[in-house]
Amino acid sequence: MAYQTWFAFFVAACVIAISPGSGAVLSMSHGLNYGVRRTSATILGLEIALVVILIIAGAGVGSLLVASETAFNIIKVAGALYLIYLGFSQWRAPVEVRQEGAALDTANATAAATRGQAWWQRCMTGFLTNATNPKGIVFMVAVLPQFIDHDRPLWLQLLVLAVTMVAVDLVVMHGYAFAASRLQRFFRNQKAVKAQNRFFGGVLMLVGAGLFFFKRSAH
């Protein structure tokens, strides 16, 4: 892969990662609730899904999914319903107050994990959030061909592109989580925690609802 081609993809990957989406919202929500270290498991799930989508698109399966209206609609509806479920769960998450007055979100289902649960549950939440997003597949199908040299080994190029995109996305998602975690000191009472739950829950539900209106590109 030529350096110019790689750099162009790097710029595109930066734009994609920085653009607000369900992954960014989830990273900020988990960063605010659990801090950066625990949110790393969520981000790992996001990146695994990102690699899966890139491989699917690069192998040509993504094109078939986009071309099939039935398959596309199944993915779209599943993704929309999952995000709405996450958002509704966070909106309704009950908040208790400890005796010392610190607020504790005891049932943040959107985070898919409390402090006593395994890291893989947060990881699965991140994975499903990205894997059920049809925009990711459609975007990859549209973008990847621009950076693939058909005269060179496909899988080696996909490896370079995947490493580049994951590295960029890891930095950006951790940046979102870190920025949100800095606000934790402002959410130490029941009213503030409930407000942030409803904010992020509402955003996730809006993103999910927006997927219902997402259409395939015309062929």
Mean pLDDT of 91-100: 58
Give me the pLDDT at residue 141, please. 73
Average pLDDT over residues 94-101: 49
pLDDT of residue 183: 79
pLDDT of residue 196 exceeding 80, the answer is: no
Q: Which residue has the higher pLDDT, 186 or 25?
A: 25
Let me know how long the chain is. 219
- State how far the Cα of 170 lies from the Cα of 185, in Å rounded to an integer: 25
Q: What percent of the chain has a predicted confidence (pLDDT) above 90?
A: 20
| φ/ψ (deg, to 5) at 91 | -60, -40
The model carries a pTM of 0.72
- Backbone dihedral region of 39: left (phi > 0), alpha (psi from -120 to 50 degrees) or beta? alpha
Distance CA 103, CA 193 (A): 7
Q: Return the higher-pLDDT residue of 147 and 216.
A: 147
Q: What is the mean pLDDT of the chain?
A: 78
pLDDT tens digits, one per residue of 145-193: 777 777 788 788 889 999 999 999 999 999 999 998 887 776 656 676 6
Within 13 Å of residue 105, how many CA atoms lie on the same side as its CB?
A: 29
Question: Can you tell me whether residue 18 is helix, strand or coil?
Answer: helix
Question: What percentage of the chain has pLDDT greater than the value 70?
Answer: 79
